[in-house]
């Protein structure tokens, strides 16, 4: 679409906006700008004076005046545009094309202001269609140190806006629904803010941290309607995009799940604070006292998918351990994550704690995610939480040290001595209680001596939930209506109402099969044989190994950690549900009395 056509289309769309809608959408856009670190740190805000259905900049102007910031507006002189300071609306009057312009005041001379850019049409790459006169491109080509943020209604967003070599892209673009940014500018700002905030968090008392956690917990429930409204947008979009129901379930929030998020924060507040704990203090022969002190990791980055509850859990655990956290959620949950972060940051501000303790990267494109993985100058450790593809991408591409959280191809082995009623109850719970989580059972391994009796009864129970069973040849002889399993099925994390069934003739064969195909997450044996239970515990290579219990218990809340940052399936530093201690490191502390090394 040519720019003249974009202008015609947008002008007609803007005319259809009621004054109430224009004001409401403008307020949302301006609120986003007001929350930006760039606005809060700016000493001067250069802002256009809106007219003819543009995004209203009055909330920005009035907020800047209240905060004592300098405000400047543009005035056209021939082919050039110059900014002048204004201190009230009386300083402007209709000028060029009836656009309000300064009539008095001093010429603005700031070279590092936050400059708000208008426009007619934009695309997701921040290409801009202006009004056709080139004033902003010419001005910005001569004033390169300004931070630039364009504002637009969603109705102004196009699939593509043609660009030329003379166009200067705004660094940020904000609509009432979305946020776009130059990845390098955005990540530099977020990373620098996190690094500056980390020393403040390191010195917070336990009492101060607990106060903020409890307030955040209260606010999540107090503002639950706002969060649910945002989540409904994500759910609607997910179903429109035909997301599998298991993943929709991961994404979905309700009052009960929000209450669970709040309770997680309250539990974290009740837990002992590991920071400052001193251990292993020993006296050396030369009189030096050497010990270890537990300290924060620093700045933690977390990349995750479709799990808005992770937003609150990650904040709580990182904050209690004195770490600043940068979150990069998926596009599927962007509205939910943004709403949750907004509520928590409100609690932090009310407790006089920098809200940059928790930052969300609101841009969801892959380029930004890829560059975030390389923000090593600011981020001390990166934790991926999601599917196999996400985890593999982070492990393979990150220049930041990674704590690997794993996918969950979890098995339950039904031993020949098992209580079969218990086995059916446990398998049913592990498979169907919640299908879209990493600790759900995806595969059962059955001893051939109990297979026929178990599978006939198990199928009846799983049929209640319409679980598809994918069986090897021997298991198919017990339930012919099942689906034949392929080799691929043994290693699948379905996150769906599907369960694979493998027949074995011994405990040795069961252990070998599970260790070959598992993801190191959670495995369980159902048995009445004590020796078999001990062998399973000793020989299965996984972060959590159960005897006669559902794999669904692999969870920070269930393990008494209050919440978890993820389930680590690696073997360095942290393994299993990652609670507070997993988000700390230690440093040596040494007390001397004048010792020098000979």
Angstrom distance (rounded) from CA 42 to CA 68: 11
Q: Residue 436 has which token pair?
A: 């879209």
Q: What's the pTM value of the predicted model, to 2 decimals?
A: 0.80
Map tokens 């250069």 to a residue.
46
Q: Where are the alpha helices (DSSP H) in 183-291?
A: 183-202, 206-222, 224-240, 245-251, 255-270
In this model, does residue 370 exceed pLDDT 90? yes
Q: Greater confidence, 243 or 325? A: 325
Angstrom distance (rounded) from CA 37 to CA 196: 12
Angstrom distance (rounded) from CA 279 to CA 260: 34
Q: What's the pLDDT band for 588 if we cut at 50, 70, 90?
A: very high
End-to-end Cα distance, the chain: 79
State the average pLDDT over residues 318-336.
Answer: 95
Q: Give me the pLDDT at residue 109, please.
A: 92
Q: What's the pLDDT band for 106 if we cut at 50, 70, 90?
A: very high
pLDDT digits (tens, 9 = 90+) for 32-89: 999 898 999 999 999 999 988 999 999 999 999 999 999 999 999 888 899 999 999 9
Neighbours of 9 (CB within 10 A): 16
Angstrom distance (rounded) from CA 196 to CA 193: 5
Angstrom distance (rounded) from CA 320 to CA 323: 8
Q: Greater confidence, 365 or 471? A: 471
Contact residues for 74 (Cβ-Cβ < 8 A; gap 6+): 46, 48, 49, 81, 82, 83, 101, 135, 139
State the average pLDDT over residues 499-524.
Answer: 96
Q: Give me the pLDDT at residue 392, please.
A: 87
Provide the mean pLDDT of the chain.
Answer: 93
State the average pLDDT over residues 448-468.
Answer: 95
In this model, does residue 563 exceed pLDDT 80? no
In this model, does residue 153 exceed pLDDT 80? yes
In this model, does residue 100 exceed pLDDT 90? yes
pLDDT digits (tens, 9 = 90+) for 177-191: 899 999 999 999 999
What does the chain come to in residues? Answer: 598
In this model, does residue 595 exceed pLDDT 70? yes
In this model, does residue 562 exceed pLDDT 70? no
Distances (CA, A) of 227 to 68, 139, 584: 32, 41, 30
């Amino acid at each position: 679409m040519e720019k003249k056509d974009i202008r015609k289309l947008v002008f007609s769309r803007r005319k259809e906006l009621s004054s109430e809608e224009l004001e409401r959408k403008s307020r949302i856009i301006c609120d986003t700008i007001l929350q930006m670190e760039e606005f809060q740190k700016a000493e001067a805000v250069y802002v256009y004076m809106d007219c003819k259905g543009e995004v209203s900049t009055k909330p920005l102007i009035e907020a800047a005046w209240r905060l004592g910031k300098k405000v400047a507006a543009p005035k056209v002189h021939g082919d050039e545009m110059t900014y002048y300071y204004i201190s009230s609306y009386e300083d402007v009057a209709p000028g060029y094309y009836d656009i309000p312009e300064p009539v008095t005041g001093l010429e603005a001379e700031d070279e590092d202001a936050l400059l708000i850019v208008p426009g007619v049409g934009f695309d997701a790459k921040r290409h801009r269609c202006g009004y056709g006169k080139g004033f902003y491109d010419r001005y910005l080509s001569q004033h390169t140190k300004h931070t630039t943020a364009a504002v637009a209604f969603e109705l102004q967003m196009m699939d593509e806006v043609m660009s030329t070599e003379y166009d200067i892209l705004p660094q940020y673009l904000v609509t009432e629904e979305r946020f776009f940014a130059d990845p390098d500018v955005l990540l530099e700002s977020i990373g620098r803010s996190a690094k500056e905030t980390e020393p403040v968090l390191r010195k917070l008392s336990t009492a101060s941290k607990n106060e903020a956690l409890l307030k955040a917990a209260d606010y999540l429930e107090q503002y639950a309607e706002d969060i649910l409204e945002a989540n409904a947008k994500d759910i609607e979009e997910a179903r429109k995009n035909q997301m599998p129901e298991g993943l929709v379930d991961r994404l979905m929030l309700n009052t009960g799940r929000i209450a669970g998020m709040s309770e997680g924060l309250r539990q974290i507040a009740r837990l002992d604070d590991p920071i400052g704990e001193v251990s292993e203090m020993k006296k050396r022969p030369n009189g030096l006292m050497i010990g270890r002190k537990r300290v924060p990791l620093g700045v933690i980055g977390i990349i995750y998918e479709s799990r808005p509850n992770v937003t609150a859990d990650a904040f709580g655990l990182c904050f209690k351990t004195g770490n600043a956290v940068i979150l990069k959620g998926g596009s599927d949950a962007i509205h939910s994550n943004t709403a949750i972060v907004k509520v928590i940051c409100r609690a932090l501000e009310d407790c006089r704690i920098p809200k940059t303790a928790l930052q969300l990267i609101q841009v969801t494109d892959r380029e930004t995610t890829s560059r975030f993985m390389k923000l090593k100058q600011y981020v001390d450790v990166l934790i991926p939480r999601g599917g196999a593809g996400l985890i593999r991408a982070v492990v393979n591409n990150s220049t930041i040290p990674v704590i690997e959280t794993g996918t969950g191809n979890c098995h339950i082995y039904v031993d020949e001595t098992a209580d079969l009623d218990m086995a059916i109850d446990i398998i049913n719970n592990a498979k169907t209680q919640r299908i879209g989580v990493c600790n759900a059972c995806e595969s059962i391994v059955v001893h051939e001596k109990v297979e026929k009796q178990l599978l006939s009864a198990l199928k009846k129970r799983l049929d209640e939930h319409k679980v598809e069973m994918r069986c090897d040849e021997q298991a198919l002889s017990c339930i012919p209506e099942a689906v034949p399993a392929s080799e691929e099925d043994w290693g699948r994390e379905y996150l769906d109402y599907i369960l694979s069934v493998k027949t074995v003739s011994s405990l040795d064969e069961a252990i070998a099969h599970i260790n070959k195909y598992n993801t190191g997450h959670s495995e369980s044996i159902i048995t009445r044989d004590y020796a078999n239970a001990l062998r399973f515990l000793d020989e299965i290579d996984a972060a959590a190994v159960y005897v006669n219990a559902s794999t669904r218990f692999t969870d920070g809340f269930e393990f008494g950690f209050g919440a978890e940052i993820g389930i680590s399936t690696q073997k360095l530093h942290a393994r299993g549900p990652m609670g507070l201690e997993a988000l700390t490191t230690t440093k040596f502390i040494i007390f001397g009395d004048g010792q020098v090394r000979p």
